[in-house]
Amino acid sequence: MTDKLLTKRRFKDGDNSHRPWQEEIFTADASHKCPTYVHRTPPCQGSCPSGEDIRGWLNIARGIEKAPGDMAWQEYAFSRVTDANPFPAIMGRVCPAPCEDGCNRNEVEDHVGINAVEQFIGDYALEHKLGLPAVVAESGKKVAIVGSGVAGLACAYHLRRKGHACTVIEAHEELGGMMRYGIPGYRVPREVLDGEIGRILDLGVEVRNNTKVGVDVTLEELQSEFDAVFIGLGAQSGSALPVPGGDAPNCITGVGFLQAFNDGRLQHTSARVLVVGGGDTSMDVAAVARRLGHIKNKRKNDRPENIVLGHTAHDAATAAHRQGADVTLISWEALDDMPATKMEVLHTSREGVKIMGSLLPVNVILDDEGRATGIRVIDVDWSSGKSEKIAGTERDIECDLIVAAIGQAGDLSGFESLDNGRGLIDADGFYRVKGHPDLFVGGDITKPHLLTTAIGQASIAAAGINLFLSDADMKKRPKVDVHHFSLLEKLQETDHAPGAYEHKQVRGTDGADFAIHNYEDRSGVEVVPSDELFLGHFKYEDRNIRAEHDITPDSVLGSFGERIQGLSEEQAKKEADRCMSCGMCFECDNCVIFCPQDAIFRVKKTESTMGRYVDTDYTKCIGCHICEDVCPSGYIRMGLGE
C-alpha cells in the first residue's frame, strides 16, 4: 500500500490563476465551447505490452458493462481478455504487471490489483472449461509456427481466429517453451499451463513435436510447404559468467538450471549455492535451490552440474533425505534497482535466500581440480548514477555451485542467415523479417523481455501475416497499438447497429441513424493522464490483496505448491470496482447531476450501451465547463465548437 496522498482535488489551496485563455474563452459564465465525449486509452492498457482492454474487462467484472443475453459476467470478461491474450490464468500469476505501475489509481492511494482479477477470470475459465471462439471460415492459407512458447502459441491463436491453418514446429516433446521449461511449477501449475495451451490446440492447431529446424527440417522446406512462417524460437540459451574462472564445470546458467528442474532431472542441489543475477529468472533459481535443498552424501555423478548438462539424472527417491541449501543471490544493481519484481524479491528473501546488492563479480576461485569453491566480489557505488568500483572492498564468498542468471540468447541453428550478429533476429513494425516477406518473428528471439511482450508482438505479427496472406498493404501501426474498445462492435452486439450509409454528402447528421452522434475515438493516439480526471470522486479504498500460503525458510523445503491464493468472486468484483475507468464513461451521473442548465441527459435505456450513456442538448449548453470538471474518468472534453 502506498502512502495516501494529501489531496485529490483538481484545484489546490493557493490556486489563483485561470487556465490558458484558449481553453477558457469565457464571457461571464459561458463560452463557445461545449462538451464532447472522447474515448481515450487508459494508462494501464497503454502500459500493457499485450495490449489487453484492461479497463473493459474490469468494467465487466464490476457490472458496468453488461454481458449479452444470459452469459455469465466471468465468461464475457474472459472473451474480452482473450481478444488480446489467450493466457489469462498464467499471466495473472507471473506477469510483473507494468499495467499496475501505469494505473492512475496510484494518484489516489494504490493501484488496482489487475493481475489478481485477471487470475480469477482465467481460473474461472479453466474450472468451467470455457473454450475460445470457433473458427468461422477457413482461408485456405497455411502458416508454420516455429516454437511453442508464448509467442508461437499466441500467434497461432490469433491466426486461427482469422481462419488460417497453423502448424506448430516444436523441438521438445511438450509445448510451452519458457512457460514450461523456464518457470517453476509452483509459479505456473502444470494443469493451468496445459489447460490454456489445450484451448488453443482445440481450435485446430496442428503440432509436430520433436522436430528441430536445421536438423529434422530446413527453413527453406518450411517456406516451400507453407504460405508464411512465424519464428518464435525464444532465447533459451543462458549467458556464462564473464569473469576469469566463469567456465568452471560447476558454474552453470540459470536457464539450464531451471530447465533441468522443470524436466524432473534435478532433484537436489548443492549445500552452498550462489546465484548471480537480479532479475526474475535469478529469483526463480534461488527459490528453486532453496526448495530442492541438498543431499549430504552424494556421489560424483549426482553433482548438480552433471544433471544440468544432461550427463545423468537424480534418483527422486533420494530427495526424501534432502536438507536445506544455503542460497545467496548477488546483484550488480542496488537492491532497490534490481529488475526483478518486488513481490518475487520479497518472497525469495522470506524463503531464506540471502540477497545482496551492489556487488560485482571479479573472478571465480578454483580448487586444484578446476572446480569453483567461491567467488570474489567487489562493492560498487551508484551515487554518481553509474557503477563505480570501491577500491579495497574485495572479498570472497564461498560456495559449491554458481548459477549465472545474467542474460539469455537465442539458438539460431537452422536460421543462421537471419542472425543480426547478436544472436537475435531483427524485424520491422509488423515483426516481418527484413528482406523476407514471408517470414515473421516475435518473442525473446527479437530481444529477451517479458512474456506479455511476446504475446503483444505475436498479435501484431499475426495481423501482419494476415495482411501479407491477403495481399493487402501494411499501413503504419497506430501510435497507441493495443486492442481498443470498439463502440461500433458494442452497438452491433446490443442490436443498436447504425443504419445503412448511402455514401453521399449529408449535412446535419445529429439526427441520422447511420451516424454515431457526439462520440470521438482518440484511443489510437491518446492516453488519458491522471491530471485530467476528477480524482475527488474516488474515496480511499484498500487494495484486495491475494492471500499467501505460509512462506518461511523451513516451510518451503521440498514444497512446490503455489505461493499465492486467488481472489474469491466477491473480492475480484470488489477490486475491479476500484478501477476509475480512465477514458471511458462508467455511468456515475456526475455530469447529469451537476449541469446547471440540465443540458446533459441520460440516453434512453432502450438505446443506451457502454460508451453511449449520456448525451447533451446543445440548445441548452452554455459551455460552463462544470461537466468536464466533475467527470471522474476524463471522458468529457470541452472541444465542440473549436
Domain edges within the chain: 50-226+413-484, 238-409
Q: Would you say 111 and 103 are in contact if contact means Cβ atoms under 8 Å apart?
A: yes
pLDDT at 11: 58
CATH architecture of 50-226+413-484: 3-Layer(bba) Sandwich (3.50)
pLDDT at 315: 43
What pTM does this model have?
0.86
Write out pLDDT tens, residues 131-184. 998 898 999 999 999 999 999 999 999 999 999 999 999 999 999 998 998 888
- Rounded mean pLDDT of 369-390? 93
* CA distance readout (Å), 567 to 123, 179, 186: 10, 23, 17
CA distance 458 to 147: 12
Write out pLDDT tens, residues 386-410. 999 999 999 999 998 899 988 777 7
The mean of the pLDDT values for the chain is: 88
Task: Say yes or no to pLDDT of 308 above 80.
Answer: no
- Cβ contacts of residue 427 below 8 Å, gap of 6+? 433, 434, 440, 441, 442, 446
- Cβ contacts of residue 133 below 8 Å, gap of 6+? 79, 161
Q: State the residue for C-alpha cell 493451468.
A: 192
| The domains spanning 50-226+413-484 and 238-409 adopt the same CATH topology | yes
**238-409 CATH fold:** FAD/NAD(P)-binding domain (3.50.50)
What is the percentage of the chain residues whose pLDDT exceeds 90? 61
CA distance 164 to 405: 38
Residue 510 in 3-state DSSP? helix
- Rounded mean pLDDT of 88-117? 94
Write out pLDDT tens, residues 268-299. 677 888 999 888 888 888 888 887 776 555 55
pLDDT at 445: 92
